[in-house]
Structure 1
Amino acid sequence: MLKRTRKHIKQLKRSITQSLNTPGRPTLPQDELNIIERIRKAAAANNQNNITRTQAYFNFYQNHPEVHWALLAHLVSRNAGWNMTDLKGEYLPKLLTDQEQVDFFAFLERGNWLIFQDAYPQLLLYEESKKQKRPLFHLLDPLNISKFMKPFWENMWSNERKEELTIALIINEQQYIEKRVIHNTHYKNKVLDTIMFKLQDVLDFNHILIPYTTPLQQKTKLVGGTVHHFSSVEDRITLGKGLYDLLFSVQSRLTQTVKWAETNPHTGSRKDYWPDLFNDVKESTPGQVHELKSSPCSLQVKASRIYSPSLPSVWKDWEHNKAEPGDWYPNKKMFHFVKQPIKQLSGDIEKTYCETIEELEMAAFTKNTFFHKK
């Protein structure tokens, strides 16, 4: 991990301030205009749905493993897809109305879409810089990327500051969706302030799971973390930094995580990482709540698996309005996250996640038995 000195932080701040004060945008030569157009088209082509986004992140990481954020984004995006399909899976349809399911999906999808259309062009610009053997980060501005990011990409290019770039991208993307999604009046009223979303928060439903396969047992294990206050940008950034540390701090586990991702393409179904517990075909009796025969973590009794559908089978591609304009960076208080030390996560998530499944089953059973969703 690179040391972030006070002098270095001041230099970063100075670089960003200079870019903020640069008047207008210079006229670009045709070859650079062509680069921008190619990047925009490639980003749009890969931004069709959660499946295409998630795979695009991983493909990029495999070609450019020095950009650590791409692997982290791939794994977090997998979790977004699992949350999307949970809305049509075994338990949540018993707890949410049809409209609440759509509203929740639109909220998750908008955030996933927005982050990709902001971050993926940055990745492609870095790739183009490598091809041309010259930095092209002056093109971040015409690509509508926050001025916050330019010095971090330049430092990555000149000094290979991988950790610093990753943290900057975590901060940037969470700030990018802060007003556009988290504090957007529509999503706030429809999703974040509803009783059911608060119920998910109480149930610790906001887990981020990182699967990996142990070489000897050939068993998929889970590490990860939980954001307890999803509406807090500070909590989301802190979790993102902790997940990054968790992912890259143990080389053997990192290798096993990448291997798992290679051999298990993302479908949106939780069957991808736990086929003994989940299936993309419904096995329980229609109209009945799936009943666990033992703790999900033990699976001592063979029983029907929990329904977890693939994404294309339950959600069509979503039509999005253009991203709202504006640079978040005038909110400079976020800069302290660059210099703050990473809060390490224990990574122990399996037991907590199994308890969440049991709580969801109980909540669905209670709602189905005593209240009956209308």
Structure 2
Amino acid sequence: MPFLLYSLSDVKKELKKKSRAKAFQDKQIALTEEEQRLIHIINKSTRKLNKNNVTRTQAYFQFYLQYPEIHWAFLGHMVSRNGGWNMTDLKGELFTKLLSEKEQRVFFSFLERGNWLIFQDVYPQFLLYEQSIKRNKKMFYLLPFFGVSTFMETMWNFFWVNGDPYPLAIATIINEQNYLEKRVIQNNYFKKAVLGTVGFKLYDFFRFNHILFPYYEKGHQKTSLAGETSRHFTSVHERILLGKRLYALLFYHEDILRGAFNWAKDHPHTGSRKDYWPHLFNNVNESFPRGLYKRRIKNCELRKGMERLYSPPLIYAWADVDHQKAEEGDWFDDWHVIDYLTEKDVDTDGKIYNEYCKTLEKIELTIMAKKALLREEE
């Protein structure tokens, strides 16, 4: 009979054992026809919904509607919205004036690969949980057949017995950030073509490090913003801490959670920033592409007589991508990652409005400085 994980102490013991054994290998078990069929169905469903950022983002939300105890599904939905906005920014009003077409394509491939990888890793976990609920028996022994880390098998088994959504959500953050580390962040191509470039440092400084959660303030239908700012994006440790802060922002603040959930229900994700601020962004280009750029923004409002900023929907910005199969291998080799599960003070007020407004104004100033520099060189 398998050992039941009733406490984090039990989890630690199992992870220590797995860490020593480097236990990620395909289990030598004979699958029944029903299990083989289930694996096929889950893979097929995952591929279908892993088409682009919009389909992934919506799939997370639909799953959360059915299983609200899986907190990461809503956190993933909100963060994935930001991924889509970052993708369409590359074809929007501002960044087309700062980045070359080649830089736009390379940066998109970086964002898209990470977004795709996370979905193809986490969504089969969700569907196995759904099957476990429907069959009233845990099915997590099948996770290795989807290439999912042995770390998550332990954490799903713990959740099945314990039912506490917090450790599972933080474990998923730990898993996804470590999963991305070698496949994207440490990938030689992306390190050279994206992370080490001047263009990325500019992009990272201006927008990529803001994670925005639109929400309705209590008693209002007007969209407010909460959020966090990423520091040291290339550090897996910092990304995990960011994930914990974002989790705290949603699930430790009932008003933000309720407001973000209701806002998400009312605003299907398109990838355009018009989704949350139609007063400032439009999915139709209102300005002349070759016209001289003039400052339009002050305190996140349009200056008098100015056109809104173009922010296209994803469907018009980028074509769907056929991805190569995910690289194999399990990242888990150190049980000390369990230290992230301890509920330390990571609470945050989420105040980001002023910082975000200043960022938009900085981008405009940079565009104008670049144009002035080009004119001097002519």
Tell me the TM-score normalised to structure 2 length. 0.92
What's the CA shift for 1:353? 0.7
Q: Is the 8 A contact 1:207 1:225 kept in 2?
A: yes
1:322 is matched with which residue: 322, 325, 347? 325
Q: Secondary structure at the match of 1:142?
A: helix
2:12 is matched with which residue: 2, 6, 10? 10
Aligned-partner residue type, residue 213 of structure 1:
Y
1:176 is matched with which residue: 171, 175, 179? 179
1:274 is matched with which residue: 269, 273, 277? 277
2:167 is matched with which residue: 164, 167, 181? 164
Q: Secondary structure at the match of 1:141?
A: helix
Q: Is the 8 A contact 1:91 1:289 kept in 2?
A: no
Asked whether 1:339 is paired with 2:339, we answer no
Asked whether 1:360 is paired with 2:363, we answer yes
What's the CA shift for 1:196? 1.1
Asked whether 1:49 is paired with 2:78, we answer no
What's the CA shift for 1:288? 3.0
Q: How does 1:113-192 map to 2 (within 5 A)?
A: 113-192=116-195
Q: Is the 8 A contact 1:276 1:305 kept in 2?
A: yes
Where does residue 202 of structure 1 map in the other structure? 205
- Residue segments in structure 1 that go unaligned for 5+ positions in a row: none
Distance 1:8 1:302, change over 3 A: farther
Q: Is the 8 A contact 2:151 2:332 kept in 1?
A: yes
What's the CA shift for 1:36? 0.8
Number of matched pairs: 371
Distance 1:323 1:53, change over 3 A: same
Asked whether 1:104 is paired with 2:119, we answer no
Which deviations, in whole Å up to 9, do the C-alpha atoms of 1:312-369 show, x marking residues without a partner? 1010001111000000002445333223625222301111111111111111122123
Tell me the TM-score normalised to structure 1 length. 0.93
Asked whether 1:86 is paired with 2:89, we answer yes
Q: Secondary structure at the match of 1:138?
A: helix
Within 1, Cα distance between the matches of 2:26 and 2:306? 66
Where does residue 256 of structure 1 map in the other structure? 259
Within 2, Cα distance between the matches of 1:99 and 1:351? 32
Where does residue 3 of structure 2 map in the other structure? none
Within 2, Cα distance between the matches of 1:228 and 1:137? 34
What's the CA shift for 1:124? 0.5
Distance 1:323 1:16, change over 3 A: same
Within 1, Cα distance between the matches of 2:289 and 2:67? 47
Where does residue 221 of structure 2 map in the other structure? 218
What's the CA shift for 1:214? 2.3
What's the CA shift for 1:118? 0.3
Within 2, Cα distance between the matches of 1:6 and 1:134? 21
Within 2, Cα distance between the matches of 1:21 and 1:203? 39
State which drifts further: 14-23 or 198-207. 14-23
Q: How does 1:211-250 map to 2 (within 5 A)?
A: 211-250=214-253
Distance 1:74 1:102, change over 3 A: same
Q: Secondary structure at the match of 2:144?
A: coil
Which deviations, in whole Å up to 9, do the C-alpha atoms of 1:57-111 show, x marking residues without a partner? 0000000000000000000100000000000001111111111100000000000
Pairwise CA RMSD of aligned residues? 2.2
Aligned-partner residue type, residue 209 of structure 1:
L
Where does residue 59 of structure 1 map in the other structure? 62
Q: Is the 8 A contact 1:211 1:257 kept in 2?
A: yes
- Residue segments in structure 2 that go unaligned for 5+ positions in a row: 1-5
Q: Is the 8 A contact 1:278 1:305 kept in 2?
A: yes
What's the CA shift for 1:293? 4.0
What's the CA shift for 1:218? 1.7
State which drifts further: 254-263 or 99-108. 254-263
State which drifts further: 332-341 or 77-86. 332-341
Distance 1:246 1:15, change over 3 A: farther
Q: Secondary structure at the match of 1:149?
A: helix
What's the CA shift for 1:290? 4.5
What's the CA shift for 1:164? 0.1
Within 2, Cα distance between the matches of 1:53 and 1:143? 18
Q: Secondary structure at the match of 1:285?
A: coil
